[in-house]
Amino acid sequence: MTSLASLEFLPYLEAGQIPESPYQGKMGAYAIFDRDRTLQYVGFSRDIYLSLKQHLTRKPDLCHWVKLQTVDRPSRTVLEAMRQAWITEHGSVPLGNGEEETLWSQAIDAKTQITAEEEAAYEAADDAGRIKVLKQLARRVEAEVKADLEQRGVTMALRFDPKLKEQGLLTLK
């Protein structure tokens, strides 16, 4: 197993895009660093490229550098061991693997950003109306996320799952 310190820092974005190579379709472990190269999150994935896209939409301000180790055979045990070894090597649990883990690993919950006006409309509505309120809320939060990504320099197209918006959730399709 390769140590985290021995791996090369790779830029998260190149010309506003996550480079497809060396990530797309590759499985392995990866570590995400902020602008100052401070470790923020360690994860593993069956498709590192797709995971990096999800993390970028959730935490655009903290995704500046990445280190990765690919594996040829899928083995959750091996990948979990790599992740744990890197966290141990780091000396402390990064926020993204600790108290902020859901912010890194789960769909964006637009309901956490509901305004009093939206909440009143939601409470007053029937089931169909509530879905409509949640979709509008999700679209508002999506616009804010996309504005943050644009400010971060992201130019790649990102499409959120329209079905999950009915639940007030945002995750890439």
Predicted structure pTM score = 0.92
Checking DSSP bridges between strand 65-71 and strand 39-45, what pairing results, if any? unpaired
Q: What is the Cβ-side half-sphere exposure of residue 82, based on CA atoms within 13 angstroms?
A: 26
Report whether 134 contacts 122 (CB < 8 A): yes
Beta-carbon count within 10 A of 6 CB: 9
Residue 1 has pLDDT above 80, yes or no: no
Per-residue pLDDT band for 160 (boundaries 50, 70, 90) equals very high
Q: What is the mean pLDDT of the chain?
A: 95
Task: List the domains of the chain with CATH numbers.
Answer: 10-105 (3.40.1440.10), 108-170 (no CATH)
